[in-house]
Structure 1
Amino acid sequence: MDVVKTSKDSQSQPIIITGMHRSGTSLTASILQRAGINIGRELLGPGIGNIKGHFEDVDFWKLHQEILVSQGVSPEGWTTHSKISVPQQFLSKARALRDQRMEQTGLWGWKEPRTTLFLDFWDELIPEAKYIFVYRSPWEVVDSLFTRGDVAFTQNPGLAIGVWIAYNTGILDFYKQNFSRAVLIHIDNLKGKAPNFLSAIQEKLQLKDVLLEEEIFDSKLVHREASTDHRPALIAQFYPKAIEILDALNAIADLPAHLDPNRASARLHIDWALQDWAITRRAMTSKQQTQTELQQTQTELQQTQTELQQTQTELQQTQTELQQTQTELQQTQTELQQTQTQLHYEQELVTAMESSKFWKIRQVWKRAKSMIGLDDD
C-alpha cells in the first residue's frame, strides 16, 4: 500500500458520508456543509426526489459509476452484493483523487451512496477517515424508490428490498469493526431543533470544528406515508431479513430510529391486500383513460396540423396572387406614366404650334379658301 498523508501531517481530516440511496444522505451532507465541512467544489445538482440538490462530489460519483459498470453492475449501484471489488486499473485514479483532496486543510469529505459498496477499499486508501452512516427504514426507502419511478424497480419491485439489504449489511458490518471512528444515525434524528446529530459527531468523532445549528431541516422534505400503512408488516412477513438488519442497526446506532416497536410485527390483514388490488386497478384504469385522452389529443393535434398546413398553402397561394396583382398594377402604372408623358409632350407641341406665326397665317388662309369655295389640297 502507498504512503498516505495523514491528518497529523496536513491538518486535514477526511469525513466520508454514505448510506443506502433515499436514506437521507443528501440531507446529511447539506447539514454538514452548513456546519463547516467542505464536501466538494463541484457537486451534483438538484433532480427528481432531491429538490435541494444531491450534494455529491462529481469526481467520486463518476469514479464509482465507472467501477460499477466495469464489474457488470448498473451505474446507479442497484446490486444485491454488499461489497464490489475494485479492479487494479482504477487504483491510480482513486489515489490521485485522494491526494488532491488531502492537500486541503480542515474538515473535508464527500457524500456518495455508492461509497457503501467500496468501504474497505476507501478505508485502506484513507485509513484516518471518519465515517457518518445514515440509514432509513426499508419500507420508506422502497416507497421513495417506487415514487421516483426507477425502471429497475418497476420491472423488478423485489430488487428494491434486495438493494436495501445489501447496502445496510455493508454498513452494519463495517460499523461493528470501526465503531470508534464512525457515527451511525437514523434519518429521524435529522429533524427538529435539537442538534443531537451534530453533537454526536462533535463528541464521538472529536470534530470540534463542526458548528452547531438551531434549525436543521424542514421535516416536510422527508415523506413518511409508508410508515403509516401496512407496508412495514408486508416487509416483515415476506422479507424478514430486512427487519433483522433494521433491528441490528437500531440496536447499535448512536442515534437509532424513533419507530413504533409493534409496527413491523403487526399482522398482515387480508383487507390490505385487497386494498392494494383496488388501488392498482384504479391506477390502471386511470392510466388507460389517460392514454385514451392522449390519443384523442394527438388525433386532434394531427387534424389541427393538417388544417394549419392547408391554411398555410392557401395563404401562400393568396400571397402569390397578390404578388402577381401587384406586378400587373406596377405594369399598368408604368404604362399610365408613359401615356401621361406622351400626352404632355403632345400638349406642349400643340401649344408651340398655336403660338407660331406660320400657324396663324395658315389658319387665316384656310378660312379664306373656305369662303371663296376653294378646296384644301
Structure 2
Amino acid sequence: MSLPTGLPPVVMDRVGLMDPMPEICVVLGMHKSGTTLVSEILHHSGIRMVEDDSAETYDLGNHFEREDTNRLNKRLLDCGEAPSIRVVDRLDLAGVTPDLRVAAQALVEAAGARDPAWGFKDPRTCLTYDFWKAVLPEHRLVCVFRDVREVHAHYLKRRRYAPLRGLHVLRAWEAYNRCMLDAYTAAPSHRRILVDYARLMRDDVELARLGAFVGRNLVDRRIAGLRRNAPVETARLRCEAWLHKRSTGRDAMALDREIRTLAEIEAAGFVRG
C-alpha cells in the first residue's frame, strides 16, 4: 500500500518534495518500542534493512535486524546473549579496539556496495551509536519512541510477579531512551525524525511524515488489529518509577514526558508546514 490519499495538502506537498538521494537509515529505539515495524516498513519500501528476505514478518520470526550489525553490537558491548533489559550501559569508546573499527568499516562498505539505499536496526545501537556515528557516512536517523507505560506493561504481561522485573524495565527504558534522545539532539534537524509508535499505529499522518523524511512512498506494514489502546499508568509503575529515581537520580517519567513533547512538536510542525 502506498502513502494514503486525502491527507492535508501540506502533507501531500511534502511527500511530493521527497529527496531521491539514496542513503543509510539508522533506526534507534528500545526493544518493544516499534523499531521492528519501522524497519519492516523501510525494508519493504526499498531500503534494505536485512540481508535475508526469507522471513516475511515479525510474527514469523523476523525482527528486521541485520545479523552482522547485531553481532558487532554484541561484541562492542561484550554482552553476549544477555537479556536486553540487563544491557543498559552506554559504550565506552575508549575501550573499542582497532579490529572492531575495521570490522565496522568493512560491514558498511559491503552493505553500501550491495545496496545504495540500506540501513539497520538493533535496539543496542542506542548504546553504541557514538561508535557508529564515527564509522558511517552521512545518514538519516530514525528515532522511535514508545510511551514508558506501554513498554512497562508489555514486559510485565508474562512475568507480573517477578519482583524486580519492573525496575529492570524502567532502568533499561531510561537508558535506551536517554541515549536515543542524545543522538537525536546532536543530529542536524534535516537528518533526524522522532516517530511516536502510538501515533504511527493510530493515524496515517505519522506514516506520511516518515515517508517524506526518507524520500519514499512507503509500503504500509501496520496490522490494524494490533492498534493499541491508551496507555495506563499503574500504581506499580508509579512506585517503581519513584524507586528508580531514588536509587539512580534519574527520572524515567520526566524523560517520557520530554520525548513525548518533542514528538508532538515535530509532528505538529509537519502538519502545519
TM-score, reference length from structure 1? 0.55
Query: Which residue of the partner structure matches residue 112 of structure 1?
Result: 122
After superposition, the Cα gap between the structure-2 partners of 1:222 and 1:45, relative to the gap in structure 1 and judged at 3 Å, is farther
Q: C-alpha displacement at 1:238, in angstroms?
A: 4.3
Is contact 1:161–1:242 with CA below 8 Å preserved after alignment?
yes
2:221 maps to 1:211: no
- The residue aligned with 1:62 is 71
Distance in 1, Cα, partners of 2:210 & 2:78: 34
Matched-pair contact (CA < 8 Å) for 1:139–1:227: yes
Return the letter of the residue paired with 2:184.
Y
- The one of 215, 226, 232 aligned to 1:227: 232
Give the match for residue 18 of structure 2. none
8 A contact 1:140–1:224 mirrored in 2: no
Gaps (5+ residues) in structure 1?
A: 1-10, 257-377
What SS does the corresponding residue of 2:84 show, helix, strand or coil? coil
Q: For 2:148, which of 138, 153, 157 is the aligned residue?
A: 138
Alpha-carbon distance change, 154 to 73 in structure 1, aligned in 2, over 3 angstroms: farther
**What is the CA distance between 1:166 and its match in structure 2?**
0.4
Structure showing greater relative contact order (alpha-carbon pairs closer than 8 Å, 6 or more residues apart): 2
Shift in Å, 1:63: 1.5
Shift of 1:132: 0.5
Q: Distance in 2 between matches of 1:243 and 1:64?
A: 28
- Contact map agreement 1:43 1:54 (CA 8 A) in 2: no
Range 159-168 or range 177-186, more displaced: 177-186
* Alignment check: 8 A CA contact 1:135 1:185 kept: yes
Contact 1:193 1:216 in 2 (8 A): no
User: 2 CA distance for matches of 1:148 and 1:69?
Assistant: 28
Distance 2:203 2:110 in 1: 36
Cα distance in 1 for residues equivalent to 2:239 and 2:229: 16
Match of 1:122 in 2: 132
What is the aligned partner in structure 1 of residue 42 from structure 2? 32
Can you give the 5+ residue segments of structure 2 that lack an aligned partner in the other structure? 1-20, 246-250, 269-273
Pair 73,81 (structure 1): closer, same or farther in 2 beyond 3 Å: farther
- Cα shift at 1:34: 2.3
Alignment check: 8 A CA contact 1:83 1:170 kept:
no
Aligned AA for 1:185? Answer: V
Amino acid at match of 2:38: T
Aligned partners of 1:131, 1:143: CA distance in 2, in Å? 27
The separation in 2 between residues aligned to 1:227 and 1:45, in whole angstroms, is 33
Residue 180 of structure 2 is aligned to residue 171 of structure 1 = yes
Please give the secondary structure, in 1, of the residue aligned with 2:175: helix
Query: For the structure 1 residues 244 and 83, does the alpha-carbon distance in structure 2 shift closer, same or farther, using more than 3 Å as the test?
Result: farther
Question: Counterpart of 2:16?
Answer: none
Partner Cα separation in structure 2 for residue 98 and residue 43 of structure 1? 19
1:237–1:219 distance in 2 versus 1, CA, 3 Å: farther
- Which has the higher Rg, Structure 1 or Structure 2? 1
Q: CA deviation at 1:158?
A: 1.0
- Over the matched positions of the two proteins, sequence identity in percent amounts to 24
Q: Distance in 2 between matches of 1:236 and 1:127?
A: 38
Q: Distance in 2 between matches of 1:246 and 1:79?
A: 20
Mapped pair 1:51 → 2:59: yes
Q: Deviations over 1:114-153 (max 9, x none)?
A: 1111111111111401111111111211222233559xx7
1:249 corresponding residue in structure 2 = 259
Aligned partner of 1:76 among 56, 74, 84: 84
Q: Distance in 2 between matches of 1:40 and 1:202?
A: 19
- Out of 14, 24, 32, the residue aligned to residue 22 of structure 1 is 32
Q: Could you say what secondary structure the match of 1:51 adopts?
A: helix
**Deviation string, structure 1 residues 9-30 (Cα, Å, up to 9, x no partner):** xx64110112001101111111
Question: Letter of the aligned partner of 1:67 in structure 2?
Answer: L
Q: Is the Cα contact below 8 Å between 2:152 and 2:237 reproduced in 1?
A: no
- The count of corresponding residues between Structure 1 and Structure 2 is 237
Deviations 1:303-335 (A, max 9, x none): xxxxxxxxxxxxxxxxxxxxxxxxxxxxxxxxx
Q: Provide the secondary structure at the position in 1 that maps to 2:157.
A: helix
* TM-score, scaled relative to structure 2: 0.73
Higher helix share: 1
Shift in alpha-carbon separation, 1:44–1:160, aligned structure 2, 3 A = farther
